[in-house]
Amino acid sequence: MCENPPMSGEFAYEPGRTLPAPWYTDPEWLERENDRIFERSWQFVGWLGKLEVPGSFLATTVGRIPVVVVRGDDGELRALVNVCRHRGSELVGDAEGRRKTLQCRYHAWTYNLDGSLRKAPRLDDSESADPELTLERLRLETVGPFVFVSADPETESLSTLAAAWPPLLAESGVDHAHLVPRESRTYDVQANWKILAENFLECYHCPVSHHGFSRLIDLDTYAGKVHSDVFWHFRSTARAAAVEANTAGIADLPPERRDLWNFVVWPNFMANIYPGAGNISTNRLVPLAADRTLAIYDFYFEPSATEEQARENVEFVDTVQQEDIALCESVQRGLRSRRIERGRFIDNEVFLDRFVWEVARHLTDDELAAPVLPETLTL
């Protein structure tokens, strides 16, 4: 039987091994992850195109912190803690929309879009002007069309950490600046968020479990690179047979548009470009419990993409996701049995080794030597 290991690097990271099984099953580890990972890292908020006009907003969470990102009347984009300074109620309950002010539903404290308190019942103007009543502001950065927020003022700039991302987006041939949202899907998965992330970082299981995906994508060319501690990417080409059959119309597209692109912002964000009509799908993993994760997918397409092309892409991704859900939930049940101390990686599961090292070094107080990575990482 596995016992909970102490919070020490001696037990946290072993090259070629998964993390200890209790790290995927016990609630205490998720609390530590909220504190040391999610509330100290760059977290995806949403699509920049949804925040173009003054008053437009997106509400989300960063770990345990409610956050609202809003375009001010002055045109500036701000990330504010979505918590009223009066009694702690969340100000914005909707996920997105437009507002002229941020008003608390509890006692009607009303804030300007820059976070300053505008008025509150029974407070005079001098009391409302107290700077301590201004909403806390968090760091915000954009990379291409993606908006990220960090609750840690010491976190290195995402534009530096993910400097390779914009050139890769340009290389993909997708006109990402003009993509439009078509659909969102949320999957409630009975598995730890790390299991879902690890599943994304290898394709050893693809020939076994993703038959449609494996017919489209050439798994022999699937490889990528770790660019920084937080930004990774991998890529493959469409199979020659799929091009010959003109699957999803890919034979009519330039060669770069026949590729699969996957981008990872550690710890819990992925973006995918599939062969076919110009598209990007984003996937954000939101842990609700040690054994429950929301996988939130948003699908964006170039305006020229037809409804049929968009539908075909969404259903293709949905099929792969449903297959992955069954796998991840099975892993969760296996780890919960406490009959396996750690899983073992094979040689080409290098992204997985890097991922568990990142988790371990954040959750422990020890300095852990980074795994040595080959220049090209195969999946």
Rounded Cα distance, 319 and 314, in Å: 9
Residues of the chain with CATH 3.90.380.10: 9-40+158-378
Task: Tell the CATH topology of 49-150.
Answer: Rieske Iron-sulfur Protein (2.102.10)
- Per-residue pLDDT of the chain (379 residues), as tens digits, is 444 444 555 567 888 899 999 999 999 999 999 999 999 999 999 999 999 999 999 999 999 999 999 999 999 999 999 999 999 999 998 899 999 999 999 999 999 999 999 999 999 888 888 889 999 999 999 998 999 999 999 999 999 999 999 999 999 999 888 899 999 999 999 999 999 999 999 999 999 999 999 999 999 999 999 999 999 999 999 999 999 999 888 888 888 889 999 999 999 999 999 998 899 999 999 999 999 999 999 999 999 999 999 999 999 999 999 999 999 999 999 999 989 999 999 888 889 999 999 999 999 877 777 777 777 777 7
CB contact at 8 A, 21 and 4: no
Q: Which residues contact 154 (CB under 8 A, 6 or more apart)?
A: none
Residue 50: both structure tokens together: 């949804």
Rounded Cα distance, 277 and 174, in Å: 9
Residues of the chain with CATH 2.102.10.10: 49-150
CB atoms closer than 10 angstroms to residue 206: 17
User: At which residue do the structure tokens 């091994």 appear?
Assistant: 17
CA distances to 44, 116, 134, 137, 236 from 131, in Å: 28, 8, 5, 12, 52
| The predicted structure's pLDDT at residue 78 | 98
CB contact at 8 A, 181 and 99: no
For the chain, first and last CA: distance in Å?
A: 32
Task: Tell the CATH topology of 9-40+158-378.
Answer: Naphthalene 1,2-dioxygenase Alpha Subunit; Chain A, domain 1 (3.90.380)
Rounded Cα distance, 148 and 125, in Å: 34
| The predicted structure's pLDDT at residue 7 | 54
Rounded Cα distance, 277 and 259, in Å: 11
Rounded Cα distance, 186 and 48, in Å: 20
Residue 39: both structure tokens together: 């509330």
| The predicted structure's pLDDT at residue 2 | 43
> Where do the H-state alpha helices sit in the chain?
9-12, 22-25, 27-33, 125-128, 158-161, 165-171, 193-200, 206-209, 211-216, 240-244, 307-336, 350-363
CB atoms closer than 10 angstroms to residue 79: 27
| The predicted structure's pLDDT at residue 373 | 73
CB atoms closer than 10 angstroms to residue 154: 7
User: At which residue do the structure tokens 């016992």 appear?
Assistant: 3
Rounded Cα distance, 40 and 34, in Å: 8
CB contact at 8 A, 18 and 360: no
